[in-house]
A and B are shown apart, each in its own frame.
Chain A
Amino acid sequence: MRKILVMGATSAIAQATNRLFAQDGDYLFLVARNREKLESISADLALRGAGRVITVVQDANATEGHAALVKQAAQALGGLDTLLVAHGLLPDQKQCQASWTATRQALETNALSILSLLTHGANHFEAQGHGTIAVISSVAGDRGRQSNYVYGAAKAMVSTFLQGLRNRLHASGVTVVTIKPGFVDTPMTASYSKGLLWAQPEQVARDIHEAVVSKREICYTPWFWRWIMWVIQHLPEWLFKRLSL
């Protein structure tokens, strides 16, 4: 039985993942912006077997509240051993190119708010000497591409931060899981036409659950993205810059 703080609990991937945690009887502390959505999710997870479900309405960008949030979760659940960070948004790349404000907002939500939460979470877990931090990053962070490098840059920052955390927290027995999904069919990508590489949130959720349970630290999901990204990462720059990726 785990005691989990979930940031961005109304996201499609978090919902599907939490159903798997609920089946294990885990305790869940759910944070998201929308009260009504949180309430229906919390009822659903309780009926699916979650040992306890507590909800808090808070914007992930309100970083000044993160320290309190971690404390509150630990108190409410009678301890805290897992942190799942699932919030984020998909910025419009064209809009970001035209506006620094848009770029900055995207970086704040997709990188800075996550780093803030991880700072407090890491200190909590390091102090208690155990725990699992799982963060949904993206394959987009593996190499910058013209079609979405603002999103990719934020995710690269998250992935690199997690690498560092993993290195730092290894000594204290804390697991750090970096989740790198490819295309997932969620509200965030609703406007995209779906091809064959697209996965359902349920499929991604199974991989995340598996990674958390088995402490697998780098998790490409679905699995084939590891190899796709391997190829993309190894394309020489002189060739890569000529591609319209």
Chain B
Amino acid sequence: MAHVGADAEEAVFQSFRNGLSINFQVKRGLSITRRSSRLLHYKSWGGYPSTPQTGVPLYWGQDLLVQLARYPESKVLPFGNGRSQGDVCLNGGGILVGTRSMDRFLHFDHLQGTIICESGVLLGELMEMTVPRGWFPIVTPGTRFITIGGAIANDVHGKNHHRAGSFGNQVLRLELLRSDGQRLICSPTENRSWFEATIGGLGLTGLILWAELRLRPIANPLIHQQVIRFSHLDDFFAISVDSDQDYEYTLAWVDGHATGANLGRGVLTRGNHAGFFTDSHRQVAQPALQPSFPVTLPFSLVNPWTVSLFNKFYYHKPIRKDGYSTIHYRPFFYPLDGILHWNRVYGRGGFLQYQCVVPTAHGRDAMKEILSRIAATRLGSLIAVLKIFGAVSSVGLLSFPRPGVTLAIDFPNPGPRTLELLSKLDGIVRQAGGAVYPAKDARMSPEAFHDYYPKTDRFREFIDPRFSSQFWRRIRGGNP
């Protein structure tokens, strides 16, 4: 409510600045309900490319129209919590409208398991509301620090794609606000084509005001998991096919540096929600402390040597004989959320993730080639993940998930060698009829994008004339 002359106290207490700054930084990360994005760190999670952004927070969805009038010359893009790795969440030279303050829950049906909330609610906040009442989001990606609007706009997927499809498959309805003031309720039955354009629509079709989601019942917050080591990519396929029958969630970490007989070796984790009568009914505690990586270093801690060491260590990590354990859902789904700002280990150069999917028919060979190329360059990094996508078809015109095998791998500080490697990988993916994930991309070519997403031309009809993104301008070769 209050305000005192902005420059005054600033000047008087300039000497306090450094101390205060450190305090704030530490504090800001501690609570999930703390809206750090309000202080306007409009950046992508990968920190690459690095572009100065003008951010304007939206406290209410309808304020969008006010902001559009205030900046009549600029293109706008909704910005959630900035967890996209690449440039889909950036809008250099334009305006980012921050949605994190649009975080109200509007309806929760405890009996049917549906929830309506504004698009700035974090998935983690939603879970804090629903999990104690016995309901779980049907699809969750590897971080809970994403907004619902962002999850829809990127049509994110999770460890259960083979059963549940992607996030858009769980959206029952949403309301879209267009720059001309039009408000559209979109669902599979109402304004269906808008619904299909907005899911996976990269925030370009308008502002999602709220969404209604389907949830699934759970007996408790626990997951029964099994961890299995596999020594080659072929074993991954064998174990995955087997796992997908009996397990709702499966995901494998792979050693991106292993070659030859070890190619694609890794650790597969599979799990199911624990039932009412589990042998370990005792409360499984979640970690009380949430460490945070405090600062962005001028250099990266991630290089071929540290990665090799980490990968060896992780591959050989001790696993219980049968591999079974019962854990809280948080470490199961969000191991990386355990360390806030983990992206800072990559230093100021940032990092980029490459996630591709190749159809099952060519999957094995294409994936072998992709992994061998990455391993040969030793550029790949700590987080490399393999997963089989199922046959549930995605709703969105630009949705990434499709049947096949997907690989996601980090590349620190995307220099020329990395970009060259990724272009080569694009070639393999295109030939195999696969796709690369826009949510994590900052470098794919317009031609590649059109190959990956054949419905792009149809999608273009639904773009709001006042909306754009750095990604979109890049993909369009500079055309709006």
Say which one of A123-131, A165-173, A191-199 lies at the interface with B. Answer: A191-199
Partner of A40 from B21, B101, B104 at Cβ < 8 Å: B104
B8's closest neighbor in chain A, by CB? Answer: A245
Question: In whole Å, how far is B6's beta carbon from the nearest beta carbon of chain A?
Answer: 5
Interface centre among B39, B59, B63, B129 (most CB of A within 10 A): B59
| Known A43-B105, A43-B106, A44-B106; contact A198-B39, beta-carbon cutoff 8 A | yes
Q: Is A139 at the interface (CB under 8 A from chain B)?
A: yes
Chain A residues close to B by CB (< 8 Å) = 11-13, 36-37, 40-41, 43-44, 47-48, 86, 88, 90, 136-140, 145-148, 151-152, 155, 180-190, 192-198, 200, 202, 228, 231-232, 243-245
CB distance from B387 to the nearest CB of A (A): 34
B-side interface size class: 35 or more
Q: How far is the CA of A145 from the CA of B57 in the complex (A)?
A: 29
Flag if A138 contacts B2 (CB, 8 Å): yes
Residues A136 and B2 in contact, CB atoms below 8 Å apart: yes
A153 to chain B, nearest CB (A): 13
**Known A-B contacts A44-B106, A187-B59, A202-B34; A140 and B40 likewise in contact (beta carbons under 8 Å):** no
| Complexed CA–CA distance, A182 and B129 (Å) | 31
User: How distant is A77 from chain B, measured CB to nearest CB, in Å?
Assistant: 22
In the bound complex, CA of A203 to CA of B388 (Å): 43
Partner of A44, one of B2, B16, B62, B105: B105
A11 and B4 form a contact (CB under 8 A): no
> Given A41-B104, A202-B34, do A148 and B59 touch, yes or no (CB 8 Å)?
no
Minimum C-beta distance from B58 to chain A (A): 9
CB of A187, distance to nearest CB on chain B (Å): 5
Provide 19 A-B residue pairs closer than 8 Å at the C-beta atoms, listed in order of the A residue: A40-B118, A41-B104, A43-B104, A43-B105, A47-B105, A139-B2, A139-B4, A140-B4, A147-B5, A147-B8, A148-B4, A182-B4, A182-B9, A183-B3, A183-B6, A185-B39, A192-B3, A195-B10, A202-B35
CA distance A180 to B1 in the complex (A): 9
B residues less than 8 Å from A232 (CB atoms): 9, 12
Residue pair B8, A244 in contact (C-beta under 8 Å): yes
Q: Which residues of B contact A243 (CB under 8 A)?
A: 8
Within 8 Å by CB of A188, from B1, B6, B104, lies B1
Task: Give B348 Cβ to nearest chain A Cβ, in Å.
Answer: 21
B10 cross-chain contacts in A, Cβ below 8 A? 195, 197
B458 contacts the other chain (CB 8 A): no
Task: List the B side residues contacting A189 at CB < 8 Å.
Answer: 3
Q: Contacts A43-B106, A140-B3, A196-B21: A228 and B13 contacting too (C-beta < 8 A)?
A: yes
* A152 CA / B2 CA spacing, docked (Å): 9
The answer to whether A181 and B2 touch (CB under 8 A), given A47-B105, A47-B108, A197-B20, is yes
Q: Give chain A nearest CB distance to B248 CB in angstroms.
A: 27
